[in-house]
Structure 1
Amino acid sequence: MSTTQHAVPVSPVPASLGARAARQPVVRILLATLAMVLPVAAVLVFANVVLEKSMRVAWPQLLAAALCVLGYRYYVAKIERRVPDELSSDGAARETSVGLAWGTALSLGVIGALAAAGAFQVVGNNSWTVIFKPVAELVLVAVFEELLFRAVLLRILQVALGTRWALALSSLLFALAHFPNDGVSALGLVITVAAGVMFGAAYLKTGRIWLAAGLHFAWNFITGTVFSLPVSGGAAKGWIIGRLSGPEWLSGGNYGIEASAVTLLAVIAVAILLRPARTPAKAA
């Protein structure tokens, strides 16, 4: 006796609620942010609460920067399930060096123009060794902010909204993160948005964070650590003691030269020069 077997249709297994949620841009942004913020906060809180001041020089910030990168890699591996090309070591040294050169030229160009206009004067100097103390903190700032605002926000929003909207929104959020800073002004926020576009253009040009991170680090280092000028409203003690004077729209006031109209023109020019020929959407 023969029997006929009928195939039973098999329904596809629906993706779990967690898997579906993890595909949403907002959820991915939140998860990536947590993966970076939590280890950074843990290291810095531990160092400040447990250790004496003399024991928390440089290494907590460098460790926090390393854990920030590892946290991002963990997020990409577990949630996006891919290799993070934006952290590729191919060309990292060259792109970082180019970014450092761009940032140095940009900051020196702005300060030179302000000096020529009478809005910047050198009033003294400290020992040149003071330039080493803030380096670890500046590394952490450059790495964390470029990962958060470019590798996370810009990249993920680029897939969801397209390059222009992603660049605009990530740059706006970058500026709003500086809103609580001392001396902030409307012009300062506009220029910080423009700086976000510039850093975003550097990221889009290579698809990696190194060019933007080098540019970001050099700007902060030259402005604050070399010339002792406020950086986004944060007071700085550097090698050369510089003083800003004149109308706030020109000097930047207490926010620093990041609120100077000269900086706005310079940042726009650099953003145009760094603009990539084309900007294919990055995988989210």
Structure 2
Amino acid sequence: MATPKPTLSSRLMANPVVRIVLGLVLTFAAVPLTMILASQLVAKPYRIVWPQLLAAVLVWFGYRFYVRRIEKRQPTELATQGMARELGAGLLIGAGLVALTFAVLAALGAYRFDGVNAASATMLLPLAELVLVGMAEEMMFRGVIFGVIERSLGSKAAIVISALLFSLAHLPNEGVSVLAISVIAAYGVLQAALYMKTRRLWICIGTHIAWNYCVSQVFSSTVSGHAATDGLLRGELLGNAMLTGGAFGIEGSLVALVLIAVTAAAWPRRA
């Protein structure tokens, strides 16, 4: 008996590139749509926090829809059991790496601490955007891109390709350099290692949020070329751009590259 010829749609769905594109679209499409609708329907003073949180919820639903309908499996990487513990671990890892980076920079004379600003509830407002960024980027780069490539080409290829694409996504940012791209790629490898250890995204999301929040809102420094804001601590990066990261911030620093690369290399890959 002749084997039925695969349909065009089934062949397309079996193609890794098609699956990645569909996954990225379904996961991220809610972000620009939510922001555009909010800007058109709601006055600016009332567009604080909630559009980002709404977009984060829609990203979560979009990724689950992709996994169930395109990947034909359950999204166990987003299971809520153990979520708080894994998020907490990720937050500690991200905050610890940032604190260690600034400590080493201070020891090298490349960071000067000037004092502490008064704590304010406004320092919590950026969390909404950082939660959205952490969720969207981790679901896209670790959930979709890493996941599809690993199932198609294996873990090593998935680590390299997902980290490379993650770093290249930061090319438009101000102050980007070869060193900055190397740091972001090393961070992508670390995130892949965290994902491979737990096979869940929560620890990766926690690390991502904590890194961005601590750099910007604790150390008042530039994040991936985005302008610095007044956070909890006052300080100044001084001297050679290879240490300070220049306009890109500490994510373009040789110190950050070494610390992240060592952590990524030392982190176990399997649960």
What is the TM-score with the length of structure 1 in the denominator?
Answer: 0.91
Give the 3-state SS of the residue equivalent to 1:242 in structure 2: strand
| Cα 1:90–1:19 shift into 2, 3 Å | same
Structure 1 range deviating more: 233-242 or 18-27 = 233-242
Aligned partner of 1:5 in structure 2 is none
1:139 corresponds, among 114, 128, 131, to 131
C-alpha deviation, 1:88, in angstroms: 1.5
Distance 2:207 2:174 in 1: 23
Give the superposition deviation at 1:32: 0.8
| Residue in structure 2 matched with residue 234 of structure 1 by the alignment | 226
**Which is further off, 162-171 or 126-135?**
126-135
1:201 aligns with 2:193: yes
Which range is displaced more, 163-172 or 120-129? Answer: 120-129
- Deviation string, structure 1 residues 191-250 (Cα, Å, up to 9, x no partner): 111011011111111111111111111111111111110001111312223211110001
2:13 matched to which residue of 1?
22
Shift of 1:20: 1.6
Alpha-carbon shift at residue 124 of structure 1 (Å): 5.0
Q: What amino acid is the match of 1:262?
A: V
Where does structure 1 lack aligned partners over 5 or more consecutive residues? 1-8, 279-284
Verify the 8 A CA contact 2:102 2:111 in the aligned structure 1.
Answer: yes
Who is 1:109 aligned against? 100
Q: Does 1:165 align with 2:165?
A: no
What secondary structure, in the 3-state scheme, does the structure 1 residue paired with 2:170 have?
coil
Report Cα offsets for 1:22-47 as digits up to 9, x if no partner.
11100000111111122121101111
Q: Indicate the residue corresponding to 1:269 in structure 2.
A: 262
Residues 203 and 211, structure 1, Cα contact 8 Å, conserved in 2: yes
What SS is found at the alignment partner of 1:232?
Answer: coil
Retained in 2: the 8 A contact 1:29–1:153?
A: yes
Give distance in 2, aligned partners of 1:268 and 1:80: 31
The one-letter code matched in structure 2 to 1:246 is: G
For residue 50 of structure 1, the aligned residue among 38, 41, 45 is 41
Instruction: Indicate yes or no: 2:72 matched with 1:76.
Output: no
Counterpart position of 1:4: none
Q: Is the 8 A contact 2:198 2:270 kept in 1?
A: no
After TM superposition, the structure 1 = structure 2 runs for residues 254-265 of structure 1, keeping only pairs within 5 Å, are 254-265=247-258
Secondary structure, in 3 states, of the residue corresponding to 2:29? helix
SS in 2 for 1:123: strand
What per-residue deviation string (whole Å, max 9, x for no partner) do you get for residues 55-87 of structure 1? Answer: 111111111011001001111111122111111
Residue 40 of structure 1 is matched in structure 2 by 31
Overall identity of the aligned pairs, in %:
41
User: Would the aligned equivalents of 2:196 and 2:270 in 1 still touch at CA under 8 Å?
Assistant: no
Count of matched residue positions in the alignment of Structure 1 and Structure 2: 269
**Corresponding position of 1:98:** 89
Separation of aligned partners in 1, 2:189 and 2:268: 10
Instruction: Name the larger-Rg structure.
Output: 1
Q: Matched residues in 2 for 1:231 and 1:275: separation?
A: 27
Q: Partner of 1:66 in structure 2?
A: 57
Contact 1:245 1:253 in 2 (8 A): no
SS in 1 for 2:234: strand
Residue by residue, what CA displacement relative to the aligned partner does 1:160-215 show, whole Å, maximum 9, x if unpaired?
11111111011000000001101111111111110110111111111111111111
